[in-house]
Amino acid sequence: MNAIFNKLALSSLVATALVYGGGDIAPTEVHTIEIPKATKSPFYVGIALSSMKLLNSDTDEAFTATGATLSLGYQYNAYLALEARYTKSLSKVEYDNGNTSLAADNDDYPTDFTNLAIYLKPSYKMGDIGIYGLLGYGEVALTNIPEGDVTRGESGFQWGAGVSYAFNDSFELFADYTWLYNGDGFDCLATANSHEATLINMGVSYRF
């Protein structure tokens, strides 16, 4: 009798241990987390209407023009892109002789106003609105100047800043201001005077 009782007691203890110790628990399911893949290419293109100006700060002489800027960029991550830009005057270049009498004003100065540059573009976004900088190297030039059919240009560090607004994942409106050159003289033009070349852009970009 004691042997039977001991066997029943042992069986009861084993059953209790299985119930409370997890012996009756179903196999654990393994859940995987999917990392969403980027749906857009890192490449983008842009086009902008541009206002171009080369100013002699000492004499107020100025060359101005309306142009167009084409850009091609590669977005490394959410905060940094590499962008190449080419700007060319579309309208007639205007010359203002400022406070000098060396030459008459000319609303149809026969030259082209261009800039070619490549920039690092750090940026920060707050929802659909973004702010960014432009830091790079480029060359700004007046080409085919009639006095000897020459080109006057300066190359070096260029910098700027801008704002953007994203309509959706593909289209973005942007506006920026860039200093193309700031120094004494502009090639061989008035080498003793301070010159500043600037560019204002307003355009749209498309991400593939």
Q: What is the pLDDT of residues 49-90, one digit of tens each?
A: 999 999 999 999 999 999 999 999 999 999 999 999 999 999
DSSP state of 3: H
**CA-wise closest residue to 160 among 71, 89, 78, 75:** 71
Residue-wise pLDDT tens digits, 75-131: 999 999 999 999 999 988 999 999 887 778 999 988 999 999 999 999 999 999 999
Q: Hey, is 83 helix, strand or coil?
A: strand
Kindly provide the b/e burial profile for residues 36-62, where b requires at least 16 CB atoms within 10 angstroms of the residue's own CB: eeeeeeeebebebebebbbbbeebebb
Q: List all residues 6 or more positions away from 50 whose beta carbon is below 8 Å from its beta carbon.
A: 66, 67, 68, 69, 87, 199, 200, 201
DSSP type of residue 154: E
Q: What is the pLDDT of residues 158-170, one digit of tens each?
A: 999 999 999 999 9
